[in-house]
Structure 1
Amino acid sequence: MPIIRVEMFEGRDPETKQELVKSLTTEMVRVTGCGEDSVNVIITDVKKENWGMGGDLASQKFPD
């Protein structure tokens, strides 16, 4: 049972997430030969204020 974990900034719509899940699943099946139904994708939305990059908060580097 492959598990793919994706952590990214919040704000993407469900359609974008669906496309990401489909693409990751397709590639996992292609590369490993596992069954599509066995692939799990877990998306964690993270607020920019909770993500540090190079010593700064992402919310400071990438303000909305």
Structure 2
Amino acid sequence: MPIVTVQMLEGRTDEQKKALVEEVTDAVTRTTGARKEAVTIVIEEMAKSHYAVGGKRISD
């Protein structure tokens, strides 16, 4: 049972997340042979104030 975690910054629409889940599920089933019903996708959204690159928060 493949479990895929996607970490991304907040701000995507429900439609974008739905499309992401469908595309990732298709890729996993195509490459691993797993049944679609066995693929689990977890989306973890981060606030822009909780993510930094080069010593600066994305929100700043």
TM bucket (normalised to shorter chain) is: over 0.9
Runs of 4+ in 1 over 6 A off after TM superposition: none
Unmatched tracts of structure 2, length 5 or more: none
Pair 1:3 & 2:3 matched: yes
What's 1:43 paired with? 43
Give the number of the structure with larger relative contact order, counting CA–CA contacts within 8 Å between residues 6 or more apart: 2
Distance in structure 2 (CA, Å) of the matches to 1:25 and 1:38: 9
Q: Which amino acid aligns with 2:44?
A: T
What's 2:12 paired with? 12
Deviation at 1:47, TM superposition (A): 0.6
Distance in structure 1 (CA, Å) of the matches to 2:43 and 2:54: 23
* SS of match in other structure, 2:44: strand
Q: Which amino acid aligns with 1:49?
A: S
Distance in structure 2 (CA, Å) of the matches to 1:51 and 1:13: 19
Unmatched tracts of structure 1, length 5 or more: none
Deviation at 1:11, TM superposition (A): 1.2
Distance in structure 2 (CA, Å) of the matches to 1:42 and 1:31: 19
Distance in structure 2 (CA, Å) of the matches to 1:32 and 1:54: 36
